[in-house]
Amino acid sequence: MTVPSRLLQQCFQEALAGAPELLARCADAAIASLQAAEKASKEVAQRDRLALAWWGLLQNKIQWGRNFSDHLRDALLAAPEAQTSRPALLSESSLLSLVEDDAVNESLESARLVHSLMPVVEQQLAVLDALMSSVIGLQTVQAER
């Protein structure tokens, strides 16, 4: 993507510079929440799963921050036509498989976490979309640009 202005380029650089720290802060908040849930839980199995989850986050948050910065850089510099998504081919039976109960529970817990985080992220994303559209010089907010 050709960067149209120095201000937009500066915004990209600030976003890339702050991405690892912000992702680490999100991970810290999730870890604290999981630790609180672990302490409040009365079931041993659930406490073990929660402890494993927060320990995994703790072990991986630094590497995820680096990886996120790389992926964010690639996304910001990619051509707009490369950012389009294609719907999955749901008619292919190779995409279907049987799963264990633990995998289903993990998926449900992930969905709950996403559900609780989405309102906060969506609100901030709307503000960012408005600011970025203004910086680019668009008359209206265009989130897809």
pLDDT single digits (tens) 81-113: 554 554 544 455 565 667 788 888 888 888 888
pLDDT value of residue 89: 47
pLDDT value of residue 40: 92
| The 3-state secondary structure of the chain, one letter per residue | CCCCCHHHHHHHHHHHHHHHHHHHHHHHHHHHHHHHHHHHCCCHHHHHHHHHHHHHHHHHHHHHHHHHHHHHHHHHHCCHHHHCCCCCCCCCHHHCCCCCHHHHHHHHHHHHHHHHHHHHHHHHHHHHHHHHHHHHCCCCCCCCC
Domain ranges for the chain: 1-80, 100-145
pTM for this prediction: 0.49
pLDDT value of residue 1: 46
